[in-house]
Amino acid sequence: MDFKQVKAIFMDVLQNYKNFEGRSRRKEFWVFQFCTFLITLPFSIVGGIIGLSLLGLIVSLIFLVPNVAVCIRRLHDTGRSGWFLLLTFIPVIGALVLLYFFLQDSQSETNDFGVSPKVAMT
């Protein structure tokens, strides 16, 4: 995967920030997570150095709504309701369960949330 593909995936997720329906492939989800990490990390480091530790948090908040949307669509892709995202409020265990869900492969068949993005691309 080259930079153009990564940029296209990242921009698609940002532009699709208000879509909480449908499905997102693992690739789309993890590329977005990685890009937001790479963007937020320098701001957090610089904020820590200059004594403005909220700088990283402020940048993270910019990506909050697109992140929630892509998480919900990823859960849909594994056949689960977006309400499973509330597991984040259970310390450690909730995060581990969600990580397991996010790592799972897509359901290849059509589910309650739409046609598989893998099938739609072929």
- Rounded distance between C-alpha atoms, residue 68 and residue 26, angstroms: 15
Q: What was the pLDDT predicted at 122?
A: 57
Mean pLDDT over each residue of the chain, to the nearest integer: 92
- Using one digit for the tens of pLDDT, what is the confidence trace for 5-64? 999 999 999 999 999 999 999 999 999 999 999 999 999 999 988 988 889 899 999 999
Tell me what percent of the residues of the chain surpass a pLDDT of 90: 77
The pTM assigned to this predicted structure is: 0.90
Q: Which of 121, 113, 107, 115 is nearest to 78 (CA)?
A: 107
Q: Which of 3, 13, 6, 4 is nearest to 63 (CA)?
A: 13
